[in-house]
Amino acid sequence: MGFGSLICRFVQMRLRSASVPPPAESAQTLSPREAEVLDHLVKGYPYKEIAGSLGISYETVHTHIRRVYEKLEVHSRSEAMVKCLGQAQQARALTEAAARTGKGRRQ
């Protein structure tokens, strides 16, 4: 499993578990195909290569990316990457903090 896949899964989990409901459009989680497209986008693939890799048309890739941007509330590839990476770092920090707290309670 690649780093991009972990980011996509984290983004999906984050969208599902938001404590304050986001606007109606972003309240939806990423579809499996949107997550795949986002994974390729985070890895730096151009739209044409994403289309070829996933066996879909360029226009379909563009549609998936537009929907991902709406759900993440971003306007560009770089904003999507920054948001995903930032959320992944936050998740990692929370996991590490929980592990430290859990270890402290067991003693």
pLDDT averaged over consecutive 10-residue blocks of the chain (107 residues)?
Answer: 60 54 52 91 92 97 95 90 76 77 57
pLDDT of residue 32: 92
| pTM (2 d.p.) | 0.60
pLDDT of residue 97: 78
SS3 28: coil
CB atoms within 10 A of CB 50: 23
Contact of 28 with 73, CB cutoff 8 Å:
no
pLDDT of residue 57: 97
Q: What is the number of alpha carbons within 13 Å of residue 63 lying toward its C-beta?
A: 7
Q: Which helix (H) or strand (E) holds 42?
A: helix 32-42
Q: Which pair of tokens denotes residue 92?
A: 């990692």
Would you give the DSSP letter of residue 25? G
pLDDT of residue 12: 61
